[in-house]
Amino acid sequence: MSNEKRKRSLEELPQALRAFLHASDAFDEALASVLGLNPTDVRCVNLLDEYGTMTAGALAGVAGLSTGAVTFLLDRLESAGFVRRLRDAQDRRRVLVELVPIARTRIAELHAGLAETWRASAQRLSSSDLESIIDFLREGAKLYQSQVPVLCSQIPAGSVSGASSGRAAIKAAVKAQAKAEAMEKLEQTARKLQAKANELHKKAGRI
C-alpha cells in the first residue's frame, strides 16, 4: 500500500468506526422499542446474555452503573419477565441474576437477521482478514474501556448528573451541526438558482 493510500485509509477509519457505532446504537434502540425496554435495559440484558449468571454488583461493574441504579433496573426487568433472581447454591447469602430462557430465545430471534447477514458478509473475507478484524475489535474494546475512567475523572464535582449534562452537550452539538448543514444546503441551492437565473437571462438577451 502506498503512503498516500495508507494516509487516506487512516483518515477514513475513524469515520467508518463512528458510522458503525451509530448504526449499532440505532439497532439497540430499535431492539429496545420492540422489547418494550430502554437502551440501558437492553445493554444489561446483552451483558447477562454474554457473561451469564452474575450478582447485581458484578452487573453494575460491567455496565458502569451504580448498584442502586442496577437494583431498580433489575426490578423492571424482573417484572417484565426478562430476568430472575436466585440464591447462590454455594453461598445462600448471595443473590444471583440470570436471563430467563424465553427472554434469551426472544433476543436470539431478534438478532437472527443481523447474525445471518454478518456471516454472509464474513464469507468473502480470508481467514487472515478475519483474524485481523477480530484483533482490531478486541484492541478497540480495550481502548474504549481505558478511556472510561479518564472521562469520568472530568465530571464536575457536585454535578447533579454528569451523564445528563454530557448527553445535553452532545445533543446541542448535533443540533448545531444539523443547523449548519441545513444552512449550507440552502446556500448551495440559492447559488444554483442564481446561476440558473443568470443563464436564462443571458439566453433571453440573445433572443
The tens digit of pLDDT for each residue in 137-178 reads 999 989 888 888 888 888 887 654 444 444 444 444 445 445
What local confidence, expressed as pLDDT, does residue 133 receive?
92
Q: What one-character DSSP code corresponds to residue 54?
A: E
What local confidence, expressed as pLDDT, does residue 165 receive?
45
Q: Where are the domains of the chain?
A: 3-150, 168-207
What local confidence, expressed as pLDDT, does residue 190 receive?
65
User: In which band, very low, low, confident or very high, does the pLDDT at 198 lie, cut at 50, 70 and 90?
Assistant: low
83-87 and 95-99 beta bridge pairing: antiparallel
CB atoms within 10 A of CB 20: 11
Percent of the chain, pLDDT > 70? 75
- The C-alpha atoms of residue 123 and residue 47 are separated, in whole angstroms, by 27
What local confidence, expressed as pLDDT, does residue 207 receive?
57
- Of 105-114, 175-184, 185-194, the least confident: 175-184
What local confidence, expressed as pLDDT, does residue 41 receive?
92
Residue-wise pLDDT tens digits, 14-70: 899 999 989 998 998 999 999 999 889 999 998 999 899 999 999 998 888 888 899
Mean confidence (pLDDT) of the chain? 81
What local confidence, expressed as pLDDT, does residue 145 receive?
82
Q: Is the pLDDT of residue 181 over 80?
A: no
Question: 21 or 92, which is more confident?
Answer: 21
Specify whether the CB–CB gap between 95 and 85 falls below 8 A.
yes
- Of 30-44, 96-110, 155-169, 188-202, the least confident: 155-169
- The C-alpha atoms of residue 132 and residue 66 are separated, in whole angstroms, by 35
Continuous H helices in 36-81: 39-51, 56-63, 67-79
CA 195 to the chain's CA centroid: 43
What local confidence, expressed as pLDDT, does residue 159 receive?
59
Q: Is the pLDDT of residue 84 over 90?
A: yes
CATH architecture of 3-150: Orthogonal Bundle (1.10)
- The C-alpha atoms of residue 146 and residue 91 are separated, in whole angstroms, by 33
Q: pTM here?
A: 0.63
